[in-house]
Amino acid sequence: MPEGDTVFRAARRLADVLEGRELARFDLRVPRVANVDLTGGTVREVVPRGKHLLHRIDGWTLHTHLKMEGEWHVYDRGGRWRKPGHKARAVLGTLTHDTVGFDLADIAVVPTDQEDTLVGHLGPDPLSPAWDAGEAARRLSVDTRSIHVALLDQRNVAGFGNEYANEILFVRGVLPTTPAPGVDTPALLDLGARMIRANRDRAGRTFTGDTRPGRSTWVYRREGRACRRCGTLIEGGQMGADPTSERITFWCPRCQT
Protein backbone atom coordinates (compact mmCIF):
# COMPACT_ATOMS: atom_id res chain seq x y z
CA MET A 1 0.00 0.00 0.00
CA PRO A 2 1.49 3.39 -0.98
CA GLU A 3 2.36 5.31 2.20
CA GLY A 4 4.98 7.97 2.82
CA ASP A 5 7.92 5.58 2.60
CA THR A 6 6.68 4.17 -0.73
CA VAL A 7 6.31 7.66 -2.18
CA PHE A 8 9.76 8.65 -0.90
CA ARG A 9 11.38 5.70 -2.68
CA ALA A 10 9.42 6.43 -5.86
CA ALA A 11 10.65 10.04 -5.82
CA ARG A 12 14.23 8.88 -5.38
CA ARG A 13 14.01 6.45 -8.32
CA LEU A 14 12.48 9.12 -10.54
CA ALA A 15 15.01 11.73 -9.47
CA ASP A 16 17.88 9.39 -10.37
CA VAL A 17 16.87 9.35 -14.04
CA LEU A 18 15.09 12.70 -14.47
CA GLU A 19 16.76 15.42 -12.41
CA GLY A 20 18.83 17.84 -14.47
CA ARG A 21 17.66 16.27 -17.73
CA GLU A 22 15.56 17.62 -20.59
CA LEU A 23 12.23 15.96 -21.28
CA ALA A 24 11.97 14.37 -24.72
CA ARG A 25 8.42 13.23 -23.93
CA PHE A 26 5.63 14.59 -21.75
CA ASP A 27 2.29 12.83 -22.08
CA LEU A 28 -0.56 13.16 -19.57
CA ARG A 29 -3.47 10.82 -20.23
CA VAL A 30 -6.26 12.40 -18.22
CA PRO A 31 -8.72 14.82 -19.86
CA ARG A 32 -8.21 17.81 -17.57
CA VAL A 33 -4.49 18.16 -18.34
CA ALA A 34 -4.15 16.19 -21.57
CA ASN A 35 -3.22 19.32 -23.54
CA VAL A 36 -0.38 20.34 -21.21
CA ASP A 37 2.98 19.80 -22.90
CA LEU A 38 6.26 20.40 -21.07
CA THR A 39 8.40 18.60 -23.64
CA GLY A 40 11.77 20.32 -23.80
CA GLY A 41 11.60 21.42 -20.18
CA THR A 42 14.31 20.50 -17.68
CA VAL A 43 13.37 18.54 -14.58
CA ARG A 44 14.77 20.49 -11.65
CA GLU A 45 13.80 17.95 -9.00
CA VAL A 46 11.33 15.26 -8.00
CA VAL A 47 10.27 15.49 -4.37
CA PRO A 48 7.80 13.68 -2.10
CA ARG A 49 5.35 15.51 0.13
CA GLY A 50 3.59 13.03 2.36
CA LYS A 51 1.76 10.77 -0.10
CA HIS A 52 2.10 13.28 -2.95
CA LEU A 53 4.76 13.50 -5.66
CA LEU A 54 5.96 16.77 -7.17
CA HIS A 55 7.90 16.93 -10.45
CA ARG A 56 9.32 20.44 -10.72
CA ILE A 57 9.95 21.19 -14.38
CA ASP A 58 11.32 24.64 -15.17
CA GLY A 59 8.68 26.91 -13.59
CA TRP A 60 5.94 24.28 -13.47
CA THR A 61 5.01 21.45 -11.11
CA LEU A 62 3.40 18.17 -12.08
CA HIS A 63 1.50 16.91 -9.03
CA THR A 64 0.41 13.27 -8.70
CA HIS A 65 -1.01 11.13 -5.91
CA LEU A 66 -0.63 7.35 -5.75
CA LYS A 67 -3.85 6.78 -3.74
CA MET A 68 -4.34 3.02 -3.22
CA GLU A 69 -3.06 1.54 -6.48
CA GLY A 70 -0.80 4.11 -8.13
CA GLU A 71 2.76 3.30 -9.20
CA TRP A 72 5.62 4.99 -11.01
CA HIS A 73 7.87 2.71 -13.09
CA VAL A 74 11.27 3.48 -14.58
CA TYR A 75 12.35 1.86 -17.86
CA ASP A 76 15.22 2.13 -20.28
CA ARG A 77 14.06 4.20 -23.25
CA GLY A 78 11.72 2.07 -25.35
CA GLY A 79 11.63 -0.75 -22.80
CA ARG A 80 8.55 -2.95 -22.49
CA TRP A 81 6.12 -1.79 -19.80
CA ARG A 82 5.20 -4.18 -17.00
CA LYS A 83 1.59 -2.98 -16.89
CA PRO A 84 -0.91 -2.46 -19.75
CA GLY A 85 -0.82 0.85 -21.56
CA HIS A 86 -4.46 1.70 -20.80
CA LYS A 87 -3.50 2.03 -17.11
CA ALA A 88 -0.82 4.65 -17.84
CA ARG A 89 -1.79 8.15 -16.75
CA ALA A 90 1.54 9.96 -17.21
CA VAL A 91 4.62 9.31 -19.34
CA LEU A 92 7.76 11.42 -18.92
CA GLY A 93 10.79 10.47 -20.97
CA THR A 94 14.38 11.56 -21.55
CA LEU A 95 16.81 10.39 -24.20
CA THR A 96 17.75 7.43 -21.99
CA HIS A 97 14.74 6.58 -19.81
CA ASP A 98 10.96 6.47 -19.72
CA THR A 99 9.07 6.99 -16.46
CA VAL A 100 5.46 5.85 -16.46
CA GLY A 101 2.80 6.53 -13.83
CA PHE A 102 0.09 3.89 -13.70
CA ASP A 103 -3.30 4.26 -11.97
CA LEU A 104 -2.43 7.71 -10.66
CA ALA A 105 -4.96 10.05 -9.08
CA ASP A 106 -5.30 13.81 -8.59
CA ILE A 107 -3.05 14.74 -11.50
CA ALA A 108 -2.54 18.47 -11.90
CA VAL A 109 -0.05 20.93 -13.38
CA VAL A 110 0.42 24.32 -11.73
CA PRO A 111 3.08 27.03 -11.62
CA THR A 112 5.61 25.95 -9.00
CA ASP A 113 4.97 29.06 -6.95
CA GLN A 114 1.35 27.89 -6.62
CA GLU A 115 2.11 24.40 -5.24
CA ASP A 116 0.49 25.31 -1.95
CA THR A 117 -2.90 25.28 -3.65
CA LEU A 118 -2.40 21.50 -3.93
CA VAL A 119 -0.31 20.49 -0.91
CA GLY A 120 -0.38 23.50 1.42
CA HIS A 121 -3.03 21.86 3.59
CA LEU A 122 -0.73 18.98 4.54
CA GLY A 123 0.75 18.67 8.00
CA PRO A 124 4.46 18.15 8.76
CA ASP A 125 6.11 15.22 6.96
CA PRO A 126 8.47 12.99 9.01
CA LEU A 127 10.49 12.21 5.86
CA SER A 128 11.03 15.87 5.02
CA PRO A 129 14.15 17.83 6.01
CA ALA A 130 11.66 20.40 7.33
CA TRP A 131 9.95 17.92 9.71
CA ASP A 132 8.41 19.82 12.62
CA ALA A 133 7.60 17.24 15.29
CA GLY A 134 6.30 19.86 17.69
CA GLU A 135 3.77 21.22 15.20
CA ALA A 136 2.61 17.73 14.26
CA ALA A 137 2.15 16.85 17.95
CA ARG A 138 0.22 20.08 18.51
CA ARG A 139 -2.14 19.34 15.63
CA LEU A 140 -2.80 15.82 16.87
CA SER A 141 -3.31 16.92 20.47
CA VAL A 142 -6.11 19.37 19.57
CA ASP A 143 -7.93 16.90 17.31
CA THR A 144 -10.85 15.62 19.39
CA ARG A 145 -11.44 12.49 17.31
CA SER A 146 -10.04 9.03 17.99
CA ILE A 147 -6.26 8.80 17.67
CA HIS A 148 -6.54 6.35 14.77
CA VAL A 149 -8.65 8.80 12.75
CA ALA A 150 -6.51 11.79 13.76
CA LEU A 151 -3.28 10.03 12.80
CA LEU A 152 -4.61 9.28 9.32
CA ASP A 153 -5.68 12.87 8.71
CA GLN A 154 -2.94 14.20 6.44
CA ARG A 155 -3.66 17.72 7.69
CA ASN A 156 -2.21 16.68 11.06
CA VAL A 157 0.81 14.74 9.84
CA ALA A 158 1.59 13.79 6.25
CA GLY A 159 2.70 10.33 5.19
CA PHE A 160 1.20 7.85 7.65
CA GLY A 161 -1.37 5.49 6.16
CA ASN A 162 -3.51 2.80 7.72
CA GLU A 163 -0.78 0.19 8.14
CA TYR A 164 1.40 2.68 10.00
CA ALA A 165 -1.49 3.87 12.17
CA ASN A 166 -2.28 0.34 13.33
CA GLU A 167 1.32 -0.60 13.99
CA ILE A 168 2.30 2.64 15.73
CA LEU A 169 -0.66 2.39 18.09
CA PHE A 170 0.14 -1.23 18.95
CA VAL A 171 3.77 -0.53 19.78
CA ARG A 172 2.76 2.44 21.95
CA GLY A 173 0.06 0.36 23.66
CA VAL A 174 -2.76 2.72 22.66
CA LEU A 175 -6.27 1.61 21.67
CA PRO A 176 -7.34 3.00 18.28
CA THR A 177 -10.50 4.46 19.87
CA THR A 178 -8.61 6.57 22.42
CA PRO A 179 -9.38 10.30 21.95
CA ALA A 180 -6.28 11.98 20.51
CA PRO A 181 -6.02 14.63 23.29
CA GLY A 182 -5.52 11.81 25.80
CA VAL A 183 -2.47 10.40 24.01
CA ASP A 184 1.20 11.28 24.48
CA THR A 185 1.41 12.64 20.94
CA PRO A 186 5.13 13.64 21.02
CA ALA A 187 6.09 10.06 21.98
CA LEU A 188 3.70 8.62 19.42
CA LEU A 189 5.17 10.74 16.63
CA ASP A 190 8.75 10.06 17.70
CA LEU A 191 8.06 6.35 17.29
CA GLY A 192 6.22 6.84 14.00
CA ALA A 193 9.01 8.97 12.57
CA ARG A 194 11.62 6.36 13.50
CA MET A 195 9.51 3.60 11.94
CA ILE A 196 8.92 5.34 8.62
CA ARG A 197 12.55 6.47 8.35
CA ALA A 198 13.76 2.92 8.94
CA ASN A 199 11.43 1.62 6.23
CA ARG A 200 12.34 4.42 3.82
CA ASP A 201 15.45 2.56 2.63
CA ARG A 202 14.12 -1.00 2.83
CA ALA A 203 12.87 -3.00 -0.13
CA GLY A 204 10.19 -4.52 2.11
CA ARG A 205 8.36 -2.68 4.88
CA THR A 206 8.62 -4.18 8.38
CA PHE A 207 7.52 -3.11 11.85
CA THR A 208 8.79 -6.10 13.80
CA GLY A 209 12.30 -6.05 12.34
CA ASP A 210 11.59 -9.39 10.62
CA THR A 211 11.24 -9.16 6.84
CA ARG A 212 10.14 -12.75 6.28
CA PRO A 213 6.68 -13.17 4.69
CA GLY A 214 3.97 -13.02 7.34
CA ARG A 215 6.33 -11.80 10.05
CA SER A 216 6.59 -8.08 9.35
CA THR A 217 3.59 -6.71 11.29
CA TRP A 218 2.40 -6.85 14.89
CA VAL A 219 -1.35 -6.51 14.35
CA TYR A 220 -2.12 -5.29 10.83
CA ARG A 221 -4.32 -7.85 9.03
CA ARG A 222 -3.79 -10.35 11.88
CA GLU A 223 -7.35 -10.45 13.22
CA GLY A 224 -8.07 -13.72 15.04
CA ARG A 225 -4.39 -14.63 15.31
CA ALA A 226 -2.29 -14.68 18.45
CA CYS A 227 -0.57 -11.47 19.53
CA ARG A 228 3.17 -11.85 19.03
CA ARG A 229 3.75 -10.39 22.50
CA CYS A 230 1.11 -11.89 24.80
CA GLY A 231 -0.76 -14.54 22.81
CA THR A 232 -4.17 -12.86 23.09
CA LEU A 233 -6.22 -13.02 19.88
CA ILE A 234 -5.98 -9.86 17.77
CA GLU A 235 -9.29 -8.08 17.25
CA GLY A 236 -10.41 -6.10 14.23
CA GLY A 237 -12.96 -3.53 13.16
CA GLN A 238 -13.48 -0.41 11.10
CA MET A 239 -13.09 3.24 11.93
CA GLY A 240 -13.13 6.51 10.04
CA ALA A 241 -14.06 10.16 10.07
CA ASP A 242 -17.26 9.19 8.23
CA PRO A 243 -18.70 6.03 6.61
CA THR A 244 -17.02 6.79 3.28
CA SER A 245 -13.53 6.98 4.79
CA GLU A 246 -13.57 4.00 7.14
CA ARG A 247 -10.37 1.98 7.43
CA ILE A 248 -9.78 -1.45 8.89
CA THR A 249 -8.33 -1.43 12.39
CA PHE A 250 -6.54 -4.11 14.39
CA TRP A 251 -5.50 -4.19 18.05
CA CYS A 252 -4.54 -6.45 20.91
CA PRO A 253 -7.11 -6.09 23.74
CA ARG A 254 -4.43 -6.87 26.33
CA CYS A 255 -1.39 -4.93 25.05
CA GLN A 256 -3.42 -1.86 24.06
CA THR A 257 -5.41 -0.34 26.88
Active site residues: 2-3, 51, 247
Q: CA of 112: how far to CAs of 54, 63, 120, 253, 255, in Å?
A: 9, 10, 12, 48, 47
Count of Cβ atoms closer than 10 Å to residue 109 Cβ: 18
Angle at 256 between CA 250 and CA 257, to 5 degrees: 130
List the one residue out of 178, 151, 168, 256 whose CA is nearest residue 220.
Answer: 168
Q: Name the region of 44 (left: φ>0; alpha: ψ -120 to 50; beta: rest).
A: alpha
Asked if 176 and 219 count as a contact pair (C-beta separation under 8 A), the reply is no
Phi, psi torsion values for 229, nearest 5 degrees: -90, -50
- Helices 185-200 and 4-18: crossing angle in degrees, nearest 10, is 40
